[in-house]
Amino acid sequence: MTRTPARPFRSREWFAAPGRLDMAALYLERFMNYGITPRELTSGRPIIGIAQSGSDLTPCNRIHLETVKRVKAGIEAAGGIPMEFPTHPIFENCRRPTAAIDRNLAYLGLVEILNGYPIDAVVLTTGCDKTTPSAIMAASTVDIPAIVLSGGPMLDGWHDGDLVGSGTVIWRSRRKLAAGEITEEEFLEAATASAPSAGHCNTMGTASTMNAIAEGLGMSLPGCAAIPAPYRERGQIAYETGKRIVEMAYDDLRPSKILTRQSFLNAIALITAIGGSSNAHPHLHAMARHADIELKPSDWMEFGYDLPLLVDVQPAGRFLGERFHRAGGVPAVLSELIAAGKVDGNVATVTGRTLGENVANRFATDREVIRAYDQPLKEQAGFLVLSGNLFDVAIMKTSVIGPDFRARYLSRPGHEGCFEGRAIVFDGSDDYHHRIDDPALDIDENCILVIRGAGVIGWPGSAEVTNMQPPAALLQRGIQSLPTIGDGRQSGTSDSPSILNASPESAVGGGLAWLCTGDTIRIDLNHGRCDMLVDDAEIARRKGEGIPPVPASQTPWEEIYREKVGQLGEGGVLDLALKYRRTSETTPRH
């Protein structure tokens, strides 16, 4: 059965361009050296790219070396021709100076591949944190039919009869180690127990959050995000994804027909309900901007802040990925939000049906893990957007504010939600590690730890360092966390209620650059304010002393990145890239 595509396949320009047999021959011949026949390539069937993000350097996504076999089977069964190619590796935990600098590099690489090769549609394999936003950003720029296939989280980690979640266990165990409650050996045992199988982080860290968002945006098949990597359903949804992308190629169902402002507002609501990563903020802005959709800081307050936390998964809750999947995963959360009128189910998705149709009646089967909308784990659990004289925009993930922290800092009678403290300022994480236990700093529970030089330009790339732990002496006294502020990010697996992603960062003259140790900072969560109580004349005097120095670039990309990147509050994208939209509508020249 031959179908006529809604838009002529762009691969025809390579393999069947009229009057250019010489060029077609050149394009065709080398693909044959692994067995593809010229008849296949000239048959008019769509060429389906598979953007392979898994490798030994991206172990979180390595399951895709297996899933692509099922993707290819699905593509072939539906009449497409699969072509797998690698993307730039992004491994969150291992890449120095930070994996964040590679989101835009992987984006650029994928744009060039999708634009410059005879690819009609693409399966985006995702997993580890930035692999998802970089892929969606690129698919938006090129605008060919695209579908996300998550690799899925690892199985749940267990240690000593307790659930241990990747990342989260590190932050919790390092506090116990510093307080002398566990040995180094026990620390390592717990940490490694959190990673029992193939897959990405099993907590609601950035990886699970971004894959949930991809599903919430309508960019993957329903249920795809949460299936654990080793489960049989992972291979099965890989097959279905392969079949579906061929249909999408014929229907010309591109990201521009799926991604709307409403779908991004839906994603903001979803992030609150799942207790999603603070890194979702810059990545959502980045994806929206590449899709030519305006998101404002106030959207997070209007469509996310007042919503409840429904999902009891670490770091905001107790459980891990397997329980979340069995409870119903993302479709069950979306069902709650649609029924409550907080997500608009009328948006388009890769299935060709609406989001609401995709998840109809897929309510949770385990109410301990996914709560009903009116019986949440926490009310008002979204990101609080703050501003003040220290920055224009920063966020705080309120779902991880624990009872201890609330009682100590936010419950002074008559001053609920407000806190004043003495600033202890660190220039980057080396400075923090060198000095945090220095008795001369005299750090007590009335201090606010501040880290700067950790933003997109200062680091470069923006580092996950804002969740600084208190000095050992305080931990030993049972003080688990101090208020922290920074122009860096923090891991999505962290349970620290930090004020982070401060933009503009100190390296470009943001307010943090002019703060000194000993200054008083006033945090007012009721009004979303964060200010240094330093008079303007003194701030002006400090400005005369210049911006705190940042380390020199060590690679060409670091230099290019620093020159072209925008601030974290706007997604940290390469602004020059935003003028390139729907590049697939123009065929690249021979």
Residues of the shown chain interacting with Mg ion in the complex, contacts defined by CB under 5 A:
92, 129, 205-206, 491-492
128 binds ligand FES per the rule CB under 6 A: yes
Identify the sign of the CA torsion 507, 389, 500, 278: negative
User: At its nearest, how many Å lie between ligand FES and the CB of residue 127?
Assistant: 6
User: At its nearest, how many Å lie between ligand FES and the CB of residue 94?
Assistant: 8
Name the binder of 515 from ligand FES, Mg ion, none, CB < 5-8 A by kind: none
Looking at 291-387, list the stretches that DSSP marks H as alpha helix, in order from N- to C-terminal side: 297-300, 321-327, 329-339, 355-358
In this chain, which of 92, 102, 240, 247 binds ligand FES, going by CB under 6 A? Answer: 92
With beta carbons less than 8 A apart as the criterion, state whether 431 and 406 touch.
Answer: no
d(CA 155, CA 492): 18
User: At its nearest, how many Å lie between ligand FES and the CB of residue 304?
Assistant: 23
Task: Provide the b/e sequence for 114-145 (b: ≥16 CB within 10 Å).
Answer: bbebbbbbbbbbbbbbbbbbbbbbbbbbbbbb
In this chain, which of 42, 43, 55, 93 binds ligand FES, going by CB under 6 A? Answer: 93
Structure-block tokens of residue 507: 């390296």
Beta bridge partners of 387: 529
User: At its nearest, how many Å lie between Mg ion and the CB of residue 1?
Assistant: 46
Among 313, 326, 316, residue whose Cα is nearest residue 366: 326
Tell me the number of residues near ligand FES by CB under 6 A. Answer: 10
User: At its nearest, how many Å lie between Mg ion and the CB of residue 60?
Assistant: 10
- Nearer Cβ to Mg ion, position 492 or 548? 492
Q: How far is CA 459 from CA 100, 393, 434, 451, 586, in A?
A: 10, 18, 17, 11, 37
Name the binder of 474 from Mg ion, ligand FES, none, CB < 5-8 A by kind: none
With CB under 6 A as the contact rule, which of the stretches 199-207, 260-268, 529-537, 565-573 interacts with ligand FES?
A: 199-207
d(CA 302, CA 287): 19
Helix or strand (DSSP H, E) at 139: helix 131-142
Contacts of 577 (CB under 8 A, 6+ apart): 104, 107, 108, 111, 141, 290
User: At its nearest, how many Å lie between ligand FES and the CB of residue 414?
Assistant: 42
Strand, helix or coil for residue 18: coil
Name the binder of 128 from ligand FES, Mg ion, none, CB < 5-8 A by kind: ligand FES
- Nearer Cβ to ligand FES, position 61 or 140? 61
Structure-block tokens of residue 462: 């923006």
Name the binder of 165 from Mg ion, ligand FES, none, CB < 5-8 A by kind: none
Name the binder of 387 from Mg ion, ligand FES, none, CB < 5-8 A by kind: none
289 binds ligand FES per the rule CB under 6 A: no
Strand, helix or coil for residue 201: coil
152 binds ligand FES per the rule CB under 6 A: no
130 binds ligand FES per the rule CB under 6 A: no
- Nearer Cβ to ligand FES, position 166 or 314? 166
Strand, helix or coil for residue 488: coil
- Nearer Cβ to ligand FES, position 99 or 502? 99
d(CA 362, CA 342): 16
- Nearer Cβ to ligand FES, position 464 or 487? 464
222 binds ligand FES per the rule CB under 6 A: no
Name the binder of 216 from Mg ion, ligand FES, none, CB < 5-8 A by kind: none
Q: How far is CA 129 from CA 7, 77, 463, in A?
A: 33, 31, 13
Among 115, 86, 81, residue whose Cα is nearest residue 242: 81
155 binds ligand FES per the rule CB under 6 A: no
- Nearer Cβ to ligand FES, position 205 or 510? 205
In this chain, which of 207, 310, 401, 436 binds ligand FES, going by CB under 6 A? Answer: 207
- Nearer Cβ to ligand FES, position 92 or 322? 92
- Nearer Cβ to Mg ion, position 44 or 97? 97
DSSP per residue, 233-299: HHHHHHHHHHHHHHHHHHHT--GGGT--HHHHHHHHHHHHHHT--TTHHHHHHHHHHHTT----HHH
In this chain, which of 152, 205, 376, 486 binds ligand FES, going by CB under 6 A? Answer: 205
Give strand ranges (E) for 45-197. 47-52, 81-86, 121-126, 146-150, 157-159, 162-164
283 binds ligand FES per the rule CB under 6 A: no
- Nearer Cβ to ligand FES, position 494 or 498? 494
In this chain, which of 60, 237, 423, 485 binds ligand FES, going by CB under 6 A? Answer: 60
Name the binder of 491 from Mg ion, ligand FES, none, CB < 5-8 A by kind: Mg ion
User: At its nearest, how many Å lie between Mg ion and the CB of residue 51?
Assistant: 21
How many CA atoms are closer than 13 Å to the CA of 304, on its beta-carbon side? 33
In this chain, which of 164, 201, 227, 468 binds ligand FES, going by CB under 6 A? Answer: 201
200 binds ligand FES per the rule CB under 6 A: yes
24 binds ligand FES per the rule CB under 6 A: no
Q: Is 583 exposed, middle or buried (0-12, 13-18, 19+ CB in 10 A)?
A: middle
- Nearer Cβ to Mg ion, position 488 or 510? 488
d(CA 376, CA 342): 14
With CB under 6 A as the contact rule, which of the stretches 137-145, 200-208, 429-437, 525-533 interacts with ligand FES?
A: 200-208
Q: What share of the chain is helix, strand, coil (3-state, %, to 5)?
A: 40, 15, 45
Contact residues for ligand FES, defined by CB under 6 A: 60, 92-93, 128-129, 166, 200-201, 205, 207
